[in-house]
């Protein structure tokens, strides 16, 4: 059993802040020739009306506390020599409280908090539990080994939350006489006619599974495994609660064959093949039911519409590969080829007008195809008593596309949206036939005309893939006597990023009101009067290679009879990145709600993302004993 409690102070950071911005965008826009403050609680007022980012940071308070209990128990009984029963039970309980405020002495933030003060409080509870029963049979028949397993599993989870919000307070409306009492601890001081509250309880989600697996091995050379699952989930429509997922795989240890005994090349060589189906139910509870919620003005609105025919998303996978070892196991590796087909993909759609607003979860027609391969190599280059050096790496290639010929050439669904000045609620990605998932759907940019205005196509076209086709991982370890150096790198190639930050936060046109702009725009032919608009102008390559982690360790060893295994280490994380991308970080995956409230995640759109942390740690490990 484990109990944990966390306290967090949250900054005003959001990737869907819109034209008012957030702490990151305000800092990027701030005129660098203006000081942020003239003294304690004396903040510079920007003549253009932009909110002072330091003032916002000081006026905003957001504290969250979460307590989590994790527990599990297991027991087994040996019925016979070959037959064993096992039981497992696990639970997860979390409870959290949160208080937020924007003090009334700050203005320009927009909304109800502007110059009045606003506070919000909330609490939430999560409870989930799992119980599993299995029977396992193991027996050897001379050269044949049989393992058979049958089981039942039940999982349930529930989530509920309550919240309250009020604005217009009577104190801390200027910095001259500040009272050290947070608004969220004094909600009754807010104007009660502006008080709103609400609660939400998701339907309990339950998953019931029956499963079995049979494994056969003959002389250690040939093995085959077959499994079958029947999964039923309350998340799906009443007509399609259950789905069935078979799988089969086999392995041939070629190097154990008689004809390989005298070979001088391979120390190990094995062939693997497999096929199987898995199901996906990763979407909100109650999404197949009619659900309603009260809005902030007290009216009742539709959260999502029912769909009794909503069914499991299914992934069918086929793969084949080799495992090998050469040069007395100093060179090992794997080579794999895979094909994945996702049918009945789950998608949060909306009904066309004049239907009421609300989400309708549905299974999209067509399917998603992923084809590719992966190769991994590990080499022990030097292997001596006082000095060793090993290198390893993986390369993965994936080609992704959505297939639905009946959709024609146009988008089946528009997905990723932009945010910020001049671009709010602009769709720039799509799901379309024979195109990658969330392909960029933009007007082509053809430079500037004589007046400095952008030349673009009239209509949009498919212009780039946000999904990396190539993923690379590299690692190396060097050991010299008591010193060890471990380095890990990773990268991705052949994909695009849309730099929404430069377009809508630090664009050239914003210099006219005294805002800071991106230096990448200096020297272009653009006019400051050129309006903000979406096009391929801000679509760039996202290729990168990162030194994600490096650790230097010195092994002291034992000191006397008490101190054992003493070693010192120095570790760096996110040390550097090699890329031509001009944003904070090419590893962007902004998942933000769109204007229709569907929560469709975008891929590869960079909008005021928080900079990735670079950290360095010095520490020691030691054991005490005698």
* Percentage of residues in the chain having pLDDT higher than 70: 95
Among 66-70, 527-531, 532-536, 597-601, the minimum mean pLDDT is found in: 597-601
Q: Average pLDDT in the 595-607 region?
A: 71
Say if residue 328 is exposed, middle or buried (CB neighbours under 10 Å; 0-12, 13-18, 19+). Answer: exposed
Q: How far apart are the C-alpha atoms of 53 and 29, rounded to whole Å?
A: 9
Lowest mean pLDDT among 148-162, 350-364, 521-535: 350-364
Q: State pLDDT tens for residues 302-349.
A: 778 889 999 999 999 999 999 999 999 999 999 999 999 999 999 888
Written as six digits, the tokens of 441 are: 């759907």
User: 3-class SS at 510?
Assistant: helix
How many CA within 13 A on the CB side of residue 403?
Answer: 11
**Residue 467: DSSP 8-state:** S
Mean pLDDT of 90-113: 93
pLDDT over threshold 70, residue 598: no
pLDDT value for 353: 66
Please state the rounded mean pLDDT for residues 204-223: 95
Q: Which of the 8 DSSP states describes residue 260?
A: G
Query: What's the number of CA atoms in the CB half-sphere (13 Å) around residue 520?
Result: 13
End-to-end CA distance of the chain: 29
Q: Are 543 and 578 in contact (CB under 8 A)?
A: no
pLDDT(595) > 50: no
**Local confidence band at 355 (pLDDT 50, 70, 90 cut-offs):** low
- The pLDDT value recorded for residue 330 is 94
225, 213 contact by CB (below 8 A): yes
> How many Cα atoms occupy the beta-carbon half-sphere of 76 within 13 Å?
9
The reported pLDDT for the residue numbered 393 is 97
State phi, psi for 64 to the nearest 5 degrees: -130, 140
What is the number of residues in the chain? 626
**In whole angstroms, what is the distance from residue 530 CA to residue 516 CA?**
16
CA–CA separation, 362 and 553 (whole Å): 53
Report the mean per-residue pLDDT for the chain: 91
- pLDDT at position 597, please? 52
Interval 246-255 mean pLDDT: 96
Per-residue exposure over 284-296, b if at least 16 CB sit within 10 Å of its own CB, e if not: bbbbbbebeeeee
pLDDT on residue 304: 83
- Beta bridge partners, 95, equal 67, 125
Helix (H, G, I), strand (E, B) or coil at 355: coil
- What are the tens digits of pLDDT across the range 435-483? 999 999 999 999 999 999 999 999 999 999 999 999 999 999 999 999 9
CB-based burial of residue 256 (10 Å sphere; 0-12 exposed, 13-18 middle, 19+ buried)? Answer: middle
**Confidence band, pLDDT 50/70/90 cuts, at residue 14:** confident
pLDDT tops 80 at residue 424: no
Lowest-confidence pick of 35-39, 245-249, 591-595: 591-595
| Residue 268 pLDDT > 70 | yes
Give the confidence band of 354 by pLDDT, cuts at 50, 70, 90.
low
Q: Is pLDDT at 300 greater than 80 in this prediction?
A: no
Average pLDDT over residues 594-602: 59
What is the maximum alpha-carbon separation in the chain? 90
Q: Does the pLDDT of residue 115 top 70, yes or no?
A: yes
Count the neighbouring beta carbons within 10 Å of the beta carbon of residue 507: 25
Output Rg (C-alpha) for the chain, integer angstroms.
Answer: 29
Tell me which residue has tokens 């990773």. Answer: 490
392-421: pLDDT as tens digits: 999 999 999 999 988 788 898 888 888 888
Calculate mean pLDDT across residues 247-266.
92
> What DSSP letter does each residue of 380-405 carry, written as one string?
EEEE-SSEEEEEEEEEEEEEEEEE-G
Is 493:470 a contact under the CB 8 Å cutoff? Answer: yes
- Beta-carbon count within 10 A of 369 CB: 16
Classify residue 41 as left (phi > 0), alpha (psi -120 to 50) or beta.
left
Residue 580 burial by CB count (10 A; 0-12/13-18/19+): exposed, middle or buried?
Answer: exposed
CB 131 within 8 A of CB 88: yes
Neighbours of 194 (CB within 10 A): 14
Angle 524-530-532 from CA coordinates, rounded to 5°: 105
């Amino acid at each position: 059993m484990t109990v944990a409690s966390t306290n967090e102070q949250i900054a005003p950071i959001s990737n869907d802040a819109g034209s008012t911005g957030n702490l990151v965008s305000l800092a990027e826009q701030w005129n660098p020739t203006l000081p942020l403050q003239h003294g304690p609680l004396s903040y510079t007022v920007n003549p253009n009306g932009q909110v002072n980012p330091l003032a916002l940071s000081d006026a905003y308070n957001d504290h969250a506390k979460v307590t989590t209990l994790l527990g599990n128990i297991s027991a087994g009984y040996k019925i016979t020599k070959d037959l064993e029963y096992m039981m497992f039970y696990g639970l997860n309980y979390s409870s959290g409280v949160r208080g937020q405020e924007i003090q009334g002495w700050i203005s320009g933030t927009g909304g109800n908090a502007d110059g009045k003060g606003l506070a919000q409080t909330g609490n939430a509870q999560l409870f989930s539990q799992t119980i599993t029963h299995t029977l396992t049979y193991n027996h050897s028949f001379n050269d044949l080994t049989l393992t058979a397993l049958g089981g039942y599993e039940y999982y349930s989870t529930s989530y509920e939350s309550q919240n309250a919000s009020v604005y217009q307070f009577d104190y801390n409306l200027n910095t001259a006489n500040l009272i050290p009492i947070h608004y969220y601890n004094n909600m009754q001081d807010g104007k009660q006619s502006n008080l709103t509250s609400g609660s939400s309880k998701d339907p309990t989600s339950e998953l019931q599974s029956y499963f079995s697996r049979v494994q056969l091995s003959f002389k250690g050379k040939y093995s085959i495994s077959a499994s079958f699952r029947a999964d039923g989930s309350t998340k799906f429509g009443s007509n399609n609660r259950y789905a069935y997922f078979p799988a089969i795989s086999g392995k041939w240890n070629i190097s154990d064959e008689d004809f390989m005994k005298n070979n001088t090349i391979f120390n190990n060589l094995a062939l693997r093949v497999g096929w199987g189906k898995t199901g996906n139910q990763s979407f909100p509870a109650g999404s197949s039911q009619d659900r309603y919620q009260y809005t902030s003005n007290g009216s009742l609105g539709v959260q999502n519409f029912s769909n009794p025919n909503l069914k499991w998303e299914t992934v069918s996978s086929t793969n084949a590969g080799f495992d090998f070892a050469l040069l007395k196991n100093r060179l090992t590796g794997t080579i794999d080829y895979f094909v994945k087909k996702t049918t009945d993909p789950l998608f949060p759609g909306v009904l066309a007008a004049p239907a009421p607003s609300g989400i309708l979860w549905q299974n999209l027609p067509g399917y998603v195809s992923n084809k590719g391969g992966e190769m991994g190599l590990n080499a022990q280059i030097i292997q001596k008593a006082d000095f060793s050096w090993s290198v390893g790496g993986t390369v993965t290639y994936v080609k992704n596309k959505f297939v639905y010929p009946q959709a024609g050439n146009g988008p089946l669904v528009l997905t990723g949206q932009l945010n910020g000045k001049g671009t709010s609620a602009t769709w720039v990605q799509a799901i379309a036939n024979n195109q990658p998932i969330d392909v960029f759907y933009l007007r082509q940019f053809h430079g500037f005309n004589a007046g400095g205005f952008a030349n673009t196509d009239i209509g949009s076209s498919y212009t780039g893939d946000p999904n990396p086709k190539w993923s690379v991982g590299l690692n190396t370890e060097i050991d010299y006597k008591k010193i060890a150096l471990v380095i890990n790198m990773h990268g991705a190639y052949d994909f695009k990023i849309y730099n929404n930050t430069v377009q809508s936060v630090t664009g050239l046109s914003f210099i006219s009101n005294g805002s800071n702009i991106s230096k990448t725009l200096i020297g272009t032919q653009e006019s400051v009067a050129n309006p903000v608009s979406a096009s391929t102008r801000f679509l760039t390559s996202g290729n990168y290679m990162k030194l994600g982690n490096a650790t230097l360790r010195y092994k002291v060893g034992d000191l006397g009879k008490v101190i054992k295994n003493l070693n010192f280490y120095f570790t760096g994380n996110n040390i550097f990145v090699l890329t031509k991308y001009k944003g904070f970080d090419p590893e962007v995956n902004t998942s933000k709600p769109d204007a229709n409230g569907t929560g469709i995640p975008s891929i590869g759109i960079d909008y005021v993302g928080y900079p990735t942390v670079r950290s360095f740690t010095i520490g020691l490990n030691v054991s005490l004993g005698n």
